[in-house]
């Protein structure tokens, strides 16, 4: 398990007040009883930790821990890459 995956799981565990061991990358929000308000809090916590913005349209699509990890990795890669010049 890479550091990003561990960070996402620990943030979800903290926000949901559940043991991190009960969360896997394959866990769905439904299994973890994460509702839309919980999801917003998780997104805010991730944005704060990584100093980035996760677009609302991407955040709305996140329904599992794996989707959160993938979306976050995509945002981190986008901010790490320099913008193309025209």
Residues 25-72: tens digit of each pLDDT = 999 999 999 998 999 999 999 999 999 999 999 899 999 999 999 999
Contact 54, 71 (CB under 8 A): yes
Distance (Å, whole) CA 41 – CA 64: 15
The model carries a pTM of 0.86
Indicate whether 86 belongs to any domain: no
Residue 37 within a domain: yes
Residue 12 lies in a domain: yes
Domain containing 49 equals 3-80
CATH number of the domain encompassing residue 52: 1.10.1200.10
For position 34, what pLDDT does the model report? 94
């Amino acid at each position: 398990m890479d550091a990003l995956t561990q960070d996402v799981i620990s943030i979800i565990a903290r926000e949901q007040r559940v043991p991190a061991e009960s969360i896997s990358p394959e866990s769905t929000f439904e299994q973890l009883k994460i509702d839309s308000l919980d999801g917003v809090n998780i997104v805010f916590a991730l944005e704060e930790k990584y100093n980035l913005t996760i677009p609302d349209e991407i955040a709305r699509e996140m329904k599992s821990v794996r989707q959160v990890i993938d979306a976050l990795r995509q945002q981190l890669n986008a901010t790490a890459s320099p913008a193309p010049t025209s």
